[in-house]
Structure 1
Amino acid sequence: MTETPWALVGDIGGTNARFALVEPGSGTLNSIAVLPCGDYGNLDVAVRDYLQQTGAGEVRRACMAFACPVHDEMVRMTNNPWVFRKAAMRESLGLDLFKTINDFTAMALGVPSVPSEHLHPVGDGMADSQRPRLVIGPGTGLGISALIPTHHDWVPLETEGGHVDFAPTDELEVAVQQTLRARFGRVSVERILSGQGLLNLYQTLAELERASVRLHTPEAVTEAALQQEDPLAHRALRMFCEILGRVTGDAALTLGSLGGVYICGGIVPRFLDVFRDSPFRRAFEEKGRMRAMMESIPVYVVTEPYTGLLGAAQALDNGEV
C-alpha cells in the first residue's frame, strides 16, 4: 500500500477509535479499523499502530473527528484520558495538515455520502435538496448538527443543541422533570435522550410508581422493552421515542430543515421496527399551525456504521470546515 499517497481519517470516541485511509480527492474509505482507546496511551500511539497494521507507510494529511470540543489548541477527550495539543500532535505524527472537527460535525458531513440502503424512512415527506438538513442522534450524549447547502459544498453547523432545556408537555413529564431536577439540578434534553438518559427515564418512572428497579444499564432497558419482559422498560422506551420526536421537530422548525432529518447515533438503529411504530413521528408532526410543514419533512434513520469517517473524509478538502 506504500505507493499510494494516502490521507488518514479518524472518528475518535470515548471507547473506540475508528480509522481509515482515503486517496486524495476521494471519499472512499479503505482499510477501516476499530481500535479500543483503552489499549493506547494517546492518539499518536494508536495512529502509529494503525499505520503499521495497514502497511500504509507515511501519511502527510489527516482529518479526525473527536467526541469533545475541538475549538481550542488543547484537546481533552470527554470520556477517555487522551489529552494533547494540536501542534504537538501534528509534529509527533509528521503531518503537514492535521484537521480536527467535532464528531457530530463529521456525522453531518458524512450523511450525503451514506448509501441509500442505510437510510430507513420513518413516515412520509419529500426533501427539498436546496434546504438545510438536520442531523440528530442520541448515543453517549445527544448530538445535533445541520448541513447548509451552498453553491459548491455543504456548510456544517457545530452546535450544543443537546444541552437545551427539557420542556415537559403533560403531568407525567412534569413529574419526570421534577424528579430529574432533584438529582441533577438543571435538566437538559440530553438527560433523557441518550443512553444514560434512557436509564434515567426508566429509573424515574420506577420511582414515580414506587416500583423496584430491576434493570441497571441502557442496553438492559432496551432489550427488556423489545422482548416485552418489563412493562416499565417498554413505557420508558416509548416515552423516549416520543420526546425524541418533539425535540427533533423543534430543531427542524428552528433550522427550517426541509431538506430532511437524519437520525444517527448508536441507539435508534438497534430497534428500528419498534421506532417506526412508536409515537416518534406523531410527536414530530404535532406542531400546531406548522403541522403541514412538518408532515412534508422526510425523516431517515441512518444505519451506516462509519458515517463519522465518511464525514471526516469530506472535511479534508471542504474549505467551509
Structure 2
Amino acid sequence: MKLALVGDIGGTNARFALWKNDRIESVRTLAAAEFATPERAIEDYLSALGLPLDSLSSLCLGCAGPVSGEDFRFTNNHWTLNRTAFRNALQLDNLLLINDFTAMALGMTSLRENERIQICPGEAEADRPALVIGPGTGLGVSTLLPDGERGWRVLPGEGGHVDLPIGSLREAALWQQLFAELGHVRAEDILSGSGLVRLYRSICALDNHVPHLTSPAEISSAALAGDPVAEEVLSLFCIWLGRVAGNGVLSLGARGGVYIVGGVIPRFSAFFQSSGFAKSLRSKGCMSHYLEGVPVWLVTAEYPGLEGAGVALQQMLDTPNAA
C-alpha cells in the first residue's frame, strides 16, 4: 500500500509523520543539522519504521519561509530543495510544499476538544475567517478561511511584522526605549521568545534595575515565582498580544475566532488566562462591541503543524487533477 507522509520543518527540528485515515501517526522528530538534505532525513525516518523508500507516494511539507517557485531554501537551516529533483529522488506521485504557518492554521481544523483551552467565551461564526496567531521563535500570523465547499483555505501574511501598537503612557515610554535600540519596533520584536528577553531588558533599563535573567524560560519562571519585574514583562506581553490580535480581528473580520498557538504562551498558561489579554483584545474604542462574542482559544495540541500538513495534503488528493 502506498503511503502518505507529512512534515513540519523548522530551523532546528524536522518532524515527520505518516498520514492515515485523516490523522497523523508514527511521529518522529529529527535534528536537521544531522542530515545533509531533507531527502536523507526522510529516508532515515522511513528506515526507522522498516519502510522502503518506494512505499511513499504522497508528501506534504510545512516549511519555514516563503514558498514559491521551483527552488526553496529553508529558513534557519542549511537545507535546500528543488521540487523536480526532490520529487524524483523520493519517487513521489504527489508533492505539496506549504508555509509552516499555513500548516499551523490548517491544523486548527482538526483539533480535539481537549487540545484547546477557551480564553474568551463566544460563538464562532462558521462562515467567517478565523485568526491564527502564534508567538514562538517569531510571531506567526495567518487567516483561516472556509471555502464554502466543506474545505479550508489559508490566507498567509506577514502580520508579525506590523508596528507594535501603543495603548498607555507606560507602553509609550517602553516603545521609546525599544525605538532607541531598534529604530523600527515590530510586534514580533516583543511577541516572541527573544521578545520576552528584549522587553525585560527594556524595563530594567527604563527603571534602573540590574538585569539578571537571560532567557525566556528564566523570565517566565521568575514571574510565576513573584519577581515583580518579570511579572510586568509577562503582563505587558499578554496585553500587547491581545492588542495585536484584536487589530487582526478588526482588519480581517475574523469573527470565526482567534487561535493562540506557538511555544511561548503554554509556559505560563494559567497566568495568561487571568492576564489583561482579553481586556486589551476588546478595548477598541467605538468598535469594542465588534470584539464581543469573538471566541479565543489557547491551543495545547502537540503537533498542530503536522496535522495541518495532513489536512492540506488530503485536500489536494481529494481534488481531481490536483497532483
TM, length-normalised to structure 1: 0.94
Answering whether residue 143 of structure 2 is matched by residue 150 of structure 1, we say no
The runs of at least 4 aligned residues of structure 1 exceeding 6 Å deviation read none
Q: Which moved more, 1:295-304 or 1:167-176?
A: 167-176
Q: Name the aligned partner's letter for residue 224 of structure 2.
A: L
Q: Determine which of 62, 69, 84 is the counterpart of 2:59.
A: 62
Q: How far apart are the structure 2 equivalents of 1:291 and 1:170?
A: 17
- 1:43 aligned onto 2:49: no
Contact kept, 8 Å, 2:64 with 2:75, in 1: the verdict is yes
Paired with 2:170 and 2:76, the residues of 1 have a C-alpha distance of 32
Unaligned runs of 5+ in 2: none
Q: CA deviation at 1:293?
A: 2.2
Displacement of 1:273 in angstroms is 0.9
Q: For residues 62-97 of structure 1, what are the alpha-carbon distances to aligned partners after superposition, in whole Å with 9 as ceiling and x for unaligned?
A: 000011111233222222222222222222222222
Equivalent positions of 1:121-140 (< 5 A) are 121-140=118-137
SS at match of 1:32: strand
Match for residue 275 of structure 2 among 254, 264, 278: 278
Conservation of the 8 A alpha-carbon contact between 2:120 and 2:294: no
> Which letter does structure 1 place at the counterpart of 2:157?
T
Q: Distance in 2 between matches of 1:47 and 1:223?
A: 37
Aligned length: 315
> What SS class does the counterpart of residue 84 from structure 2 fall into?
helix
Match of 1:98 in 2: 95
Q: Structure 1 unaligned segments of length 5 or more: list them.
A: none
Structure 2 distance, partners of 1:303, 1:76, is 29
Mapped to 1, the partners of 2:64 and 2:216 lie a distance apart of 20
Contact 1:6 1:56 (8 Å CA) reproduced: no
Residue identity over aligned pairs, in percent, reads 43
* Separation of aligned partners in 2, 1:213 and 1:46: 41
Task: Write the distance in 2 (CA, Å) between the matches of 1:98 and 1:32.
Answer: 19
More deviation, 32-41/230-239 = 32-41
Query: Which whole-Å CA distance do the structure 2 matches of 1:56 and 1:244 have between them?
Result: 44
TM-score (norm 2): 0.94
User: Could you tell me which of 48, 72, 76 is aligned with 2:73?
Assistant: 76
- Residue 251 of structure 1 aligns with which residue? 248
1-side partners of 2:67 and 2:215: how far apart?
29
| Whole-angstrom CA distance in 2 between matches of 1:127 and 1:72 | 36
Deviating more after overlay: 165-174 vs 98-107:
165-174
AA in 1 matched with 2:35 = Y
Alpha-carbon distance in structure 1 between the residues aligned to 2:304 and 2:190 = 24
